[in-house]
Amino acid sequence: RAKLDGRGSVQGFHQHFHDQLLRRHRLVDRLARAIERHELRLHYQPQVALVDGRLAHLEALLRWEPDDAEPVAPGEFIPLAEHAGLIDRLGDWVMNEACRQQAEWRAAGVDGIRVDINLSGSQVLGGDTLRRLEACVSRHGLCPADIGIELTENVLIAADERVLAGLRHLRRRGVSIAIDDFGTGYSSLSYLKHLPVSALKIDRTFVRDATRSAEDRAILEAAVFIGQRLGLEVVAEGVETAEQLSLLREMRCELAQGYFLHRPRPAEALLDLMRDAVVDAP
């Protein structure tokens, strides 16, 4: 009898589903007002060169901290924004804020540290996000090399000729283009040579598993090797332990990013680190 009312019951299932929908509806309503309510901000996570510990680039990561509720993770609200047609507004805010911040850092005498922003599929595949990015960069008085973009392989594979032309154009101008979460998409390796990319960011699951078995280690090493041989910048994502870091050093991986090195943090908390440029890579 108890089963009929429990979580596993049909009724429980419908209730759960209904709650989920309700939560999403409420989130979308609040997300639509998040910009004007100043609830969004960017955190930045260093990408560190493994030979000398130099802070090479930063990745901008969007944060939503509603006034009246717990922070919501981008893994939850970005897909919602895509479905609800809000992603262009959010994306433009991110673009503009990252460029504004980069210009402020440059004015403070810190330069040569690139800021990379994430672009999702619906931003890149429809509309004119890439063109707006170029305009945004020059509006803030930046060089194209001051800003980079990160796209997943699935987005790159879905790109039609028009989008590829836009990417090639940006790449020629000097904007860095990275394949994010490399190795997790559904693609063959041959696509790599056709795409206008300059960096590979190896997904953190490969970094995580590499210290577990010889096979997993071989997969990580192969990914690093492919990137290098194609002349791409290679970044290992999600480095959480000293052991993972030294493994990556042995593999001569160029750059690493992860909690073990630095957590994402607000711009104010980064200036000193950026001034030093060489950060302590343990």
Using rule CB under 6 A, residue 13 touches ligand C2E: no
61 binds, options Mg ion, ligand C2E, none, Cβ within 5 to 8 A by partner type: ligand C2E
Using rule CB under 5 A, residue 120 touches Mg ion: no
Find the binding residues for ligand C2E in span 220-249 (CB under 6 A): 238-240
Residue of 47, 101, 120, 129 that binds ligand C2E (CB under 6 A)? 120
Least distance from ligand C2E to the Cβ atom of residue 94, Å: 4
Of the candidates 113, 123, 188, the residue with the CA atom closest to the CA atom of residue 150: 123
Q: b/e per residue, 30-48, with b = 16+ CB within 10 A?
A: bbeebeeeebbebbbbbbb
Q: What is the enclosing helix (H) or strand (E) of 191?
A: none
Residues 252 and 153: their CA atoms lie apart, in Å, by 23
Q: Site mask, ligand C2E, residues 148-177, x = CB under 6 A? A: --x---------------------------
Least distance from Mg ion to the Cβ atom of residue 60, Å: 9
Residue of 39, 134, 181, 254 that binds Mg ion (CB under 5 A)? 181
* The token pair that represents 255 in the structure block: 């750059």
Using rule CB under 6 A, residue 279 touches ligand C2E: no
Helices (H) and strands (E) in the chain, counts: 12, 9
Contact 162, 124 (CB under 8 A): no
Residues 87 and 152: their CA atoms lie apart, in Å, by 16
Find the binding residues for ligand C2E in span 32-61 (CB under 6 A): 45, 61
Residue of 151, 220, 258, 274 that binds ligand C2E (CB under 6 A)? 258
Contact 203, 183 (CB under 8 A): yes
Least distance from Mg ion to the Cβ atom of residue 59, Å: 6
Non-local CB neighbours of 8 within 8 Å, separated by 6+ positions: none
Residues 14 and 127: their CA atoms lie apart, in Å, by 37
Using rule CB under 6 A, residue 282 touches ligand C2E: no
Using rule CB under 5 A, residue 257 touches Mg ion: no
Least distance from Mg ion to the Cβ atom of residue 6, Å: 35
Residues 36 and 112: their CA atoms lie apart, in Å, by 32
List residues bridging with 150 in a β-sheet. 118, 178
Part of the chain binding Mg ion (CB under 5 A), chosen from 26-34, 43-51, 130-138, 149-157? 149-157
Using rule CB under 5 A, residue 233 touches Mg ion: no
Residue of 39, 134, 146, 150 that binds Mg ion (CB under 5 A)? 150
Which residues would be at the binding site for Mg ion (CB under 5 A)?
118, 150, 180-181, 237
